[in-house]
Amino acid sequence: MGFQHLAAQPEQSPDIRLLTAAFQAAYDEIVITNRGGEILWVNPSFTRVTGYSSEDVMGQTPRLLKSGAQDSAFYTSLWETILKGEVWRGEFVNRRKDGTLYNEQKTITPVRDESGEIAHFIAVAQDITGRKRAEEALRASEARLRSYFESPQVGIAIVAPDKKYLEVNDRFCDMVGYSREELAQMTWEDLTPSEDLVAELPDYQRVMEGEENTYAIEKRYIRRDRSCIDVSVSACAVRREDGSLSYFVALVQDITERKRLESEFLRTQKLESVSRMAGGLGHDFNNLLTIISGYSELLVHRAGTDPEMRAALQEVLRAAGTAGALTRRLLAFGRKQVMQPRLLDINQVVEDIRAMLKGMLGEDVQLVTLLGSDLGLVKADPDQLQQVIINLAANARDAMPYGGKLLIETVTAAIEPSGTAGHAGVAPGEYVVLTVSDTGYGMDRETLRHLFEPFFTTKNASGAAGMGLPVVHGIVEQSGGHISVTSEPGLGTSFRVYLPRWEGALQPEAAAPSQTASGCETLLIAEDNEPVRHLTALMLHEHGYQVIEAGDGQEAMLTLSDPARKVDLLVVDVVMPGMSSVDLIEQAQAARPGVRVLVMSGYSGDAAVYQKITSLGVPYLEKPFDADTLYAKVREALH
């Protein structure tokens, strides 16, 4: 007889009727089966959850709810448990009458008869579909939060009010070099240099006292290896309902590279400002030195046999020459010098100054050269390239006061677009690499940071002007190359100069024109500095040339536009007010096709002007100049 019929028996005791009513009213599903699993009774909650009425399931087994989510082993284990008389507890994924799936948590209890045999089973189940969905959503949410927490780009730290680390992500560990276990025993104060701690504590205290909820700061962290990194920290307070601080969430970004680039940018700006000043001073000095040396030279020729007068003037000329050399160094540092590059064999440049280098280094410094073969050519000003090698060698000699070894090596290098280890900052391409290495005392990181700055030196004040390496840097950069340096205290120093590799043949040396031959041509001098213009005209007049003077480009063009005026050579200063030298040359060649041009100056403040002057391929006269150099350049330009 089914249990639903028993409930209607009038002879039942009040306790049985109460128990039956309770089963009927229970919110949980209740199913009663016989020992074979045949359903004898279900309560209304079963119908509510599954969609099956009691008439639908009467005489059926719970197998009609199977979804296939559980395998046969699951059911085998279940039956083994309850047939032993033990209570089974577990979860099912079942199928409703409409075909939808649901989760339920079920307890199946065996019921014994008077003889002690298992006669029935009572299953009590709860629909936990909503709970399972919520758990799944929570797990997904936690997974998302964990993925955000473990973001490879940003360090995240959960910090207690006492500054201890409660939790950190992998990125944070990578930044500081400590493991999670080690950081759990530390505070953020342990990672912060004392000077940065002083700056951060007031912000931290304001958040602790509830005045603010967030703060942001740029600071440093001390890594496990005791090196420091620059970081940006954004901290946000998480508070309890009563407003007290529960913990901080700190987002940390490693900005070491950004700070390095900012520092490099500021350094570049500073160097550019100094180089502009150096260029302007060089231009003015060259004009003054041209006047001093030029008139002194004229006076030497007119001094006759007066030995005292000639000796005094020679001293003036020597001083002017020394000042001119210093000016050239200023211009080379500022990358404002007009270079006269040509294709060179860099090995030949080294060999040409080998004897001089040996004499300069002294007997206690061994000079070793390892010059590669089939290097190709480089395009550079030979005098300036020699100056690079001499300056690097002099720097090395000073780093080896008790002797050592200087190695000069040349090789080729192919820099790939993706970059090559050890060649940071070098643009992709084919290079000839000149390496100058010493076994001296080396330099620390702080010294290396300032190495190419003007007037920075590690030598005593009387021993160096601090311009050698900045000059080297300027020459290399202006030659289209790159210079790098590696050094460690006590382990020596290596400078590497990368110069673009060129294909082609060596250019033969041009025969020097006669310096004694007089001229008869007409020269037009366009120079805004009146004393320099008059001096140049005077020198040329004495050598037989006819000279027309012009104070600027417009005045020069008036002469050139007059067909009655003969002009064989235009001598033009690079830097002039009003019409630029480039515009003057282009208009002059248009007005007088075939007119020859000689450019003179020691400085071009505009890179575009410099490039244009270089591309013209005209002879160049560097200030300050003497009469013989002027005559030679004029003859070169005319022929």
What does the domain layout of the chain look like in residue ranges?
3-133, 150-254, 269-333, 346-502, 522-638
Query: What is the residue-averaged pLDDT of the chain?
Result: 83
Position 421 scores a pLDDT of 47
Q: Which of 198, 214, 217, 197 is nearest to 206 (CA)?
A: 214
Query: Is it the case that residue 150 has pLDDT exceeding 90?
Result: no
Q: Which of 291, 169, 188, 285 is nearest to 233 (CA)?
A: 188
pLDDT tens, position by position, 258-316: 888 887 777 666 656 666 666 666 667 777 888 888 788 778 777 777 787 878 878 88
Rounded CA-CA distance 206/218 in Å is 17
Position 2 scores a pLDDT of 46
- How many alpha carbons lie under 13 Å from residue 381 in its C-beta half-sphere? 20
Rounded CA-CA distance 593/548 in Å is 19
* Cβ burial, residue 490 (10 Å; 0-12/13-18/19+): exposed
Mean pLDDT of 191-200: 90
Query: Is it the case that residue 465 has pLDDT exceeding 50?
Result: no
Query: Is it the case that residue 74 has pLDDT exceeding 90?
Result: yes
Sign, Cα dihedral of 276, 279, 283, 289: positive
Phi, psi of 348 (to 5 degrees): -70, -35
Phi, psi of 110 (to 5 degrees): -70, 145
According to CATH, the topology of domain 346-502 is Heat Shock Protein 90 (3.30.565)
Query: Is it the case that residue 352 has pLDDT exceeding 60?
Result: yes
Query: Is it the case that residue 462 has pLDDT exceeding 60?
Result: no
Position 56 scores a pLDDT of 92
Letter string b/e over residues 447-459, b meaning 16 or more CB atoms within 10 A of that residue's CB:
eeeebbbbeebbe
Position 123 scores a pLDDT of 93
Q: Which of 245, 248, 217 is nearest to 233 (CA)?
A: 217
Mean pLDDT of 246-252: 90
Q: Which of 527, 523, 361 is nearest to 438 (CA)?
A: 361
Phi, psi of 53 (to 5 degrees): -80, 170
Position 273 scores a pLDDT of 67
Rounded CA-CA distance 158/166 in Å is 5
Domain 3-133 has CATH 1.20.1050.10: no
Name the CATH superfamily for 522-638.
Response regulator (3.40.50.2300)
Query: Is it the case that residue 101 has pLDDT exceeding 90?
Result: yes
**In the chain, % of residues over pLDDT 70:** 83
Cis upstream peptide for 624 (omega within 30°): yes
The CATH code of domain 150-254 reads: 3.30.450.20
Q: For residues 323 and 444, is the Cβ–Cβ distance under 8 A?
A: no
pLDDT tens, position by position, 7-39: 444 555 676 677 777 778 788 899 999 999 999
- How many alpha carbons lie under 13 Å from residue 631 in its C-beta half-sphere? 20
Query: Is it the case that residue 223 has pLDDT exceeding 90?
Result: yes
Written as one letter, the residue type at 94 is N
E strand or H helix at 546 = strand 546-550
> Fold identical between 3-133 and 150-254?
yes
Please indicate whether residue 397 or residue 469 has the higher confidence score (pLDDT): 397
Please indicate whether residue 233 or residue 334 has the higher confidence score (pLDDT): 233
Position 276 scores a pLDDT of 65
* 3-class state of residue 59 by DSSP: coil
Task: Assign 172 a pLDDT band (cuts: 50, 70, 90).
Answer: very high
R_g (Cα) of the chain, nearest Å: 46
Position 272 scores a pLDDT of 63
Stretch among 66-75, 128-137, 377-386, 505-514 having the lowest mean pLDDT: 505-514
Rounded CA-CA distance 268/256 in Å is 18
Please indicate whether residue 100 or residue 504 has the higher confidence score (pLDDT): 100
Contacts 24+ apart (CB under 8 A), 539-542: 539/294, 539/298, 539/627, 539/630, 539/631, 540/630, 540/634, 542/298, 542/627
Position 90 scores a pLDDT of 92
Q: For residues 229 and 220, is the Cβ–Cβ distance under 8 A?
A: yes
* 3-class state of residue 246 by DSSP: strand
pLDDT tens, position by position, 411-458: 998 887 754 445 556 788 899 999 999 999 888 887 787 777 655 555
**What's the token pair of residue 560?**
């050139």
Position 307 scores a pLDDT of 81
Rounded CA-CA distance 483/17 in Å is 100
Rounded CA-CA distance 102/132 in Å is 9
Q: Phi/psi class of residue 312: alpha, beta or left (left: φ > 0; alpha: ψ in -120 to 50)?
A: alpha
Global pTM reads: 0.43
Query: Is it the case that residue 1 has pLDDT exceeding 60?
Result: no
Query: Is it the case that residue 5 has pLDDT exceeding 50?
Result: no
